[in-house]
Amino acid sequence: MNARHVALIALYSSRYSVRSGIGLVFLLAALLFGLMVSHMLLQPAEKIVKKARAEGVELTTERVVERLKDSPQVRSAVDWILGSQAASEIADDQARRSAQEKVRAWTAYLLDERPALLSTILLILFWGWPFVASLGAFDLFSGDVQSRGIRYHLMRADRSSIYFGRVLGAALAQGAVLLFLVGLITTFLHFKLPFYGFGAMARWGGYGALMMILVSLPYLALCGWISGAIDSPFGSLTIITVVLGGVPLLAVFGEMRWEQLGWIRYLLPWGVQLNLFQPSPVQVAGAAAACLGYTAVFLYLGHRHFQKRDL
């Protein structure tokens, strides 16, 4: 493997990713997904303010956001996302109470100590992002392998450089899109909800964007592995989507029948990725290490297969 080749391939593949149809579709999907989620969360608060003003009641968006985040429905929804269901199923009384307390503290951290609306947007983006990321990376290799176009690259660079260069290029391109998207959402939210203060919004938005980049790495590595193993882009997209959606579904439904099946979720970062938003730095560091670990494993498996296969 040649580091200069890896850097060159990464740079070119990220710079020209939009020139391929897939890069363009990913860019549009990412922007539409992020802005749609933000719109759906901000609109109810604005609706309530407008309605109240029309009825002669003076109400600010700040009061509405405060009321919404303190409402039991929103609290229990965030509790549920963060794992209150699993905590409530612990048999031991003391352990259950302690786990539920931890989930409540986590919810309070996200909704009270950080800009609540931005936290909720980031949580939803976190769940959907692996699917959006896969839209931009399912054809890292499969199309070129199918058309035999990759043979032209093989005359100039070795397989390892091509493999790592393209995965790195996809990570750079997706990182840039993520930074732009979260920057846009954070800036716009600040104009809409200035009471959080720009510093707090920018810090939390920046942190969220970095965590999303971190969590997209293992999914990109997985896409690289599957895309390098399957000659058809459509087949690659299908398998990636089935794997990404199937793992958490199988875990959720499987553990209803047999509790141990819940461990399946740890085949992908689904089981640990939310810990990147934990209040405790130790847990954040653990989740970050796990994400990098998943990335390393998927990269190793993908690279090993790509080295041996017929191109």
Partner 1 sequence: MSEGARPGGLTALAIINFCAAAYDLVFGTLATLAVMLVFQSGRVRESVRQRGDGARTLEMMDKLHEHAGFMWATAGANAVCGVLLLIAGIGYLKQRRRMGRGIGNLYAVVSLLSLVSLTVTMPDIAEEQSVLSFLTLLVAVYPLLTLFLLNVTFKEDFVN
| Interface residues toward partner 1, by CB under 8 A | 18-25, 27-28, 31-32, 35-36, 38-39, 42-43, 46-47, 50-51, 54, 184-185, 188
Closer of 55 and 310 to partner 1 (Cβ): 55
CA distance 277 to 202: 16
Instruction: Map residue 297 onto helix, strand or coil.
Output: helix
The distance of closest approach from Cβ of residue 33 to partner 1 in the complex, given in angstroms and rounded to an integer, is 10
The distance of closest approach from Cβ of residue 147 to partner 1 in the complex, given in angstroms and rounded to an integer, is 12
Written as six digits, the tokens of 83 are 């794992």
Closer of 42 and 150 to partner 1 (Cβ): 42
Other CB atoms within 10 Å distance of the CB of residue 173: 23
Closer of 23 and 269 to partner 1 (Cβ): 23
Contact 232, 142 (CB under 8 A): yes
Angle at 16 between CA 28 and CA 233, to 5 degrees: 70
Written as six digits, the tokens of 239 are 């398998």
The distance of closest approach from Cβ of residue 88 to partner 1 in the complex, given in angstroms and rounded to an integer, is 35
Query: Any alpha helices (H) in the chain, and if so which ranges?
Result: 3-15, 21-54, 61-70, 72-82, 84-88, 93-108, 116-137, 142-146, 150-154, 159-192, 198-229, 233-257, 281-308
Instruction: Map residue 109 onto helix, strand or coil.
Output: helix
Closer of 23 and 165 to partner 1 (Cβ): 23
The distance of closest approach from Cβ of residue 171 to partner 1 in the complex, given in angstroms and rounded to an integer, is 20
The distance of closest approach from Cβ of residue 46 to partner 1 in the complex, given in angstroms and rounded to an integer, is 5
Closer of 19 and 257 to partner 1 (Cβ): 19
The distance of closest approach from Cβ of residue 125 to partner 1 in the complex, given in angstroms and rounded to an integer, is 13
CA 98 remoteness from chain centre: 28
Closer of 26 and 277 to partner 1 (Cβ): 26
- What dihedral do alpha carbons 36, 19, 303, 221 form, nearest 10°? -10
Closer of 25 and 285 to partner 1 (Cβ): 25
CA distance 148 to 167: 19
The distance of closest approach from Cβ of residue 65 to partner 1 in the complex, given in angstroms and rounded to an integer, is 14
The distance of closest approach from Cβ of residue 21 to partner 1 in the complex, given in angstroms and rounded to an integer, is 3
Written as six digits, the tokens of 307 are 């080295």
CA distance 139 to 160: 17
Closer of 139 and 231 to partner 1 (Cβ): 139
